């Protein structure tokens, strides 16, 4: 029998970036644990199919929300849609994110160096990894604060603890997200709202990477990750379940590494 503290039956969850990848893995586990879920994506390409699959597998209500959550007006519209559909939001998961492997500027001593990050790339990486979390948390905040209850889970990265070559902008964004997690947790602690983050390592998604790239990632992980394998999307979902449930009620402001030892 599962400890009652992990039971989230009837909770309402809003997950950004959940049409695929880590967001989808979190949605699957939280639905299995009894939550009803609104899953967000920029387009209908993956999210409608994902919502239908999770609903069929879990028996829970799963609603797709199409919005660009890096834009304030669309964030407000998305949150209003979730509240109109479900009546409340108990758990917010800011899972939208993406990376780019480029140096800040072209490196002169490396003829194979990629060109430096462009203005558009810089704005995109900061917006998709940091701005969306700030905007969504700000939009949901008044609702959670009024109810004096809520869980916010940000998806950071192991790079927030250890930088990587050609990953300056992504590392900066995820480090900012970890700092936001700490500061927001402190600000909202008196009101019963918890803010934590998960920092995943290597978690490839076959839907977007394809079978061959998945195989290559697994090969690299055998030599670069101490536990000698990439992570499974479900494993992020299981940690998110802990942070979403009453089991984590004495934890706030933390960024938890889930990286197979990659950041050691």
d(CA 190, CA 241): 23
Please give the structure tokens belonging to residue 112.
């194979």
Long-range contacts of 79-86 (CB under 8 A, 24+ apart): 79/14, 79/136, 79/139, 79/140, 79/143, 81/38, 82/12, 82/14, 82/38, 83/143, 85/38, 86/12, 86/36, 86/38, 86/61
The phi and psi torsions of 60 (rounded to 5 degrees) equal -100, 165
Rounded to the nearest angstrom, the gap between the alpha carbon of residue 32 and the centroid of all alpha carbons in its chain is 18
d(CA 175, CA 158): 9
242 is catalytic: no
CA angle (258, 46, 29) in 5-degree steps: 40
Please give the structure tokens belonging to residue 157.
């990265």
CA angle (93, 94, 98) in 5-degree steps: 140
Catalytic residue among 170, 191, 242, 250: 170
Residues labelled as active-site residues: 170
């Amino acid at each position: 029998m599962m400890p009652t503290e992990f039971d989230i039956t009837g909770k309402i969850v809003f997950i950004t970036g959940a049409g695929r990848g880590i967001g989808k893995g979190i949605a699957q586990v939280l639905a299995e644990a009894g939550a009803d879920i609104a899953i967000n994506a920029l387009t209908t390409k993956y999210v409608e199919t994902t919502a239908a699959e999770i609903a069929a597998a879990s028996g829970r209500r799963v609603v797709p929300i199409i919005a660009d959550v890096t834009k304030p007006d669309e964030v407000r519209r998305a949150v209003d849609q979730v509240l109109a559909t479900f009546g409340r939001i108990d758990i917010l998961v800011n899972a939208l994110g993406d990376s780019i492997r480029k140096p800040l500027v072209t490196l002169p001593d490396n003829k194979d160096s990629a060109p430096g990050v462009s203005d558009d790339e810089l704005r995109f990486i900061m917006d998709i990894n940091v701005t969306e979390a700030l905007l969504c948390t700000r939009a949901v905040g008044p609702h959670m604060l009024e109810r004096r209850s809520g869980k916010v889970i940000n998806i950071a990265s192991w790079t927030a603890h250890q930088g990587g070559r050609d990953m300056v902008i992504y590392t900066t964004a995820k480090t900012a997200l970890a700092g936001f997690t700490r500061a927001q947790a402190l600000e909202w602690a008196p009101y019963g709202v918890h803010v934590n983050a998960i920092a995943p390592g290597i978690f490839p998604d076959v839907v977007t990477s394809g079978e061959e790239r998945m195989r290559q990632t697994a090969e690299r992980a055998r030599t670069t990750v101490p536990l000698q394998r990439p992570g499974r999307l479900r494993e992020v979902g299981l940690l998110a379940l802990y942070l979403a449930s009453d089991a984590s009620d004495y934890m706030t402001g933390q960024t938890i590494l889930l990286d197979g030892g990659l950041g050691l």
